[in-house]
Structure formats: structure tokens, C-alpha cells
Amino acid sequence: MFVRNQWYVASWDHEIDRQPLARRICGESILLYRRFDRSVVVLHDACPHRLLPLSMGIKEGDNIRCRYHGLLIDSEGRAIEMPIRSERPHKSICVKAYPVVERHRFVWVWIGDADKADAKLIPDFWPCSRSDWTFDGDYYHIQCDYRLVIDNLMDLSHETYTHQGSIGQHEILEAPIQTQTDGNHVTVTRWMAGIDAPPFWRNALKQEGPVDRWQICHFLAPSSVIIDVGVAPVAARATLEHHDQGVRGFVIDALSPESDTSCHYFWGMARNFDVNDVGFTARLKHQQGAVFREDVAVLEAQQRSILVNPDLKLRGFSIDAGGVRARHVIDRMIQAQHAPGGA
């Protein structure tokens, strides 16, 4: 079960152009393309005539013509030309058009009742859109329940073992965490005061000496995690409330369920340093690919193990507090939509 009446990332902005892209979000097959004015169209991916995927169709201007019998559909999902051109299409011949907003480099689609769509509900990924920051990332497809990825991201202690060959560090396990819930927003904070910066951050800061380091994971319902990371020299007196004194980044993780056991993962990193260094950006994206393959091996094996052990339950240790609370939020939202009058 998925949380409905929510915005989900359907794609990166750069994935969509004039030709249709087919994708499945929360079990719904959609196609995406851009109009000449660059605005994005999202339609249900089945011709209202004989259900052939419209994504196989022929683009004609901003419309799309079915590859089978040529029913012409406009970008609002209405049939505007019948296979026999002299016939007039009845207005009931249409496909569902999905509310769509392009923001923060992503294409967001509203899964649920169209009349409830409100762009104000889109999670605030502000670091992805600020002119003094830079942002890029990649798309991955994983064969697991999206909630396993959220668990993974809300508990960075896994880096020590899962990523022991790449980015793992014992310091992360040793630093205490604080977990807070505020409505549907869950935060896991790890503040490491006066430590040696690890190589990545020392290079970013371009100086030696003790630093304060932070990792603040924000779960934004229903399925995003953004992680505020960085270091500042101890002398700069950074605090949990104000820590822009050094180098800072946001790891952006937007998950969109595809099916019960597969999901789309949109990963990126926004940063406020070396913002014009495109080589740095490219290396970051490349290196993340290798780290990510370690996560995928774990996540997909975990999913298979869950399926063959239906009698076993996932346990929550103290390190899992963030993921456990995020799941509580998701469960509560799903229950609410089943309640009388629920969304």
C-alpha cells in the first residue's frame, strides 16, 4: 500500500523531452513528455480505445497519436481526432491527466485525486534551487520496498559496514544521535564536535585542523530524505541552529514506489562550495555510483530475505529510531486514507 494524494518525483528534469518516457509510480503506468513551451505533460499510459500504451505513440505537436488505430490525444488527455477523421470524439473518450509540477530539478506528479493537488505540498528541497548553490545527481532503480531505502537513509551508521570498502568510518557509529518528530517530519541529528575532518570534508574545506561535523537526516513524508551534511572549523563556532560557517551540502533522496517490491530512487547532492567546479560535480556523481551499488546489494538481498521469511519481523534498535518513526508516519497516513472520510 502506498500513500495517496501526494506528490512523488516521477523523473529528473533532464530525463523528459518531446518524446514520451514511460514509468510506473505507485503502481500507476504513466507517460511524460514536454510541450513546445517546455511544460511537462503526464498522462495515464493506456489509449482509451484499445489500451495500447500511448508511450508507443507518434508525437504530433503537443498531441500524441496512438500507434494502433491513430486516436489523437491532446496534452490534457482528451481525444481530439477519431481513427475515422469524420467522426467526432465523444468527450468521455479521454485518459487521466495527472497534475504535474517541475520544481527543484525534479518533475513531481500527484498520485491521488486531482482536485486535491496543491503545489504548496511539494517538499521544500530549497538547496536544489538556490543560485549560490549547485545541484546534480542520478536516477537508480531498485528491486525493494521503498521503505527499506528510507530505513537505510535515516540510519547512516550502516556506512561503517555496508560501505567499509568505500566511505565507512567508525566515528559515525560512535557519535550519539538525537531523534525528533514534529508532525510528519522526523529528524535524526548527529553532531560531532571537535573531530578530525574525514578526507572528503578536509578537501572541501581546504584547511587542516579540528572541525565540527554534522549529519542531520530529515524525513519528509511520504518518501523523501534530505540530509544536511558538512563541517566547519571549531573556531567558527557553528551551532545546530546556524552552521553555514564552513562547507555544507544536502544529500537529496527522493523515493517513488513503483510496486510493492520495487522503487525509483532519485539521488543528488546540493552544495554551497566549489559551485562552479563541474569536474567536482561529475566525480561526486561517479563515486556515488560505486557506493550505491553496495547499498543495492544489501537492499535487494534484504527484500528477498523478507519475502522468504514471512514469520520474521524487522527489529528496531536504538540506531533505527529515525526509520522506525518515519514508518510510523507512513503507516498513519495510509491508515488515515482508509478511515471514513479519509483521503
How many residues are listed for the chain in this entry? 343
Range 30-49, binding a copy of itself (CB under 8 A):
45-46, 48-49
Binding flag, residue 298, a copy of itself (CB under 8 A) = yes
From the list 124, 184, 207, 115, the residue with the least C-alpha distance to 331 is 184
> How far apart are the C-alpha atoms of 67 and 59, rounded to whole Å?
10
User: Which of 14, 38, 69, 293 is the binder for a copy of itself (CB under 8 A)?
Assistant: 69
Binding mask 119-158 for a copy of itself (x = CB under 8 A): --------------------------------x---x-xx
Binding mask 308-337 for a copy of itself (x = CB under 8 A): xx--x-xx-xxxx-----------------
Report if residue 222 touches a copy of itself, rule: CB under 8 A.
no
Q: Where are the beta strands (DSSP E) in the chain?
A: 6-12, 21-25, 28-34, 40-44, 58-60, 63-65, 72-73, 79-81, 100-103, 106-111, 134-142, 177-182, 185-196, 210-220, 224-233, 247-259, 262-271
Q: Interaction with a copy of itself in 251-270: which residues (CB under 8 A)?
A: none
Under the criterion CB under 8 A, does residue 51 sit at the interface with a copy of itself? Answer: yes
Smaller CB separation from a copy of itself, 51 or 235 = 51
Closer to a copy of itself by Cβ: residue 27 or 289: 27
Distance of CA 261 to the CA centre of its chain: 16
Residue of 29, 169, 245, 337 interacting with a copy of itself (CB under 8 A):
29
Distance (Å, rounded) from C-alpha 109 to C-alpha 77? Answer: 15
Confirm or reject binding of residue 291 to a copy of itself (CB under 8 A).
Answer: no
Q: Is residue 161 at the binding interface for a copy of itself, with CB under 8 A as the rule?
A: yes
297 binds a copy of itself (CB under 8 A): yes
Interacting residue with a copy of itself among 18, 35, 38, 50 (CB under 8 A): 50
Residue type, 270: A
What distance in Å separates the CA atoms of residue 287 and residue 166, rounded to the nearest whole number?
9
The single residue among 12, 13, 15, 82 that binds a copy of itself, judged by CB under 8 A, is 82
**All three cell numbers of 228:** 544536511
Which single residue is written with the C-alpha cell 486514507?
A: 337
Q: DSSP labels for 177-230?
A: EEEEEETTEEEEEEEEEEEEPPHHHHHHHTS-SEEEEEEEEEEETTTEEEEEEE
Contact by Cβ (8 Å): 79, 71: yes
Interface with a copy of itself by CB under 8 A: which residues? 24, 29, 45-46, 48-53, 56, 58, 65-70, 82-85, 87, 93, 151, 155, 157-158, 160-162, 164, 173, 297-298, 301-302, 304-306, 308-309, 312, 314-315, 317-320
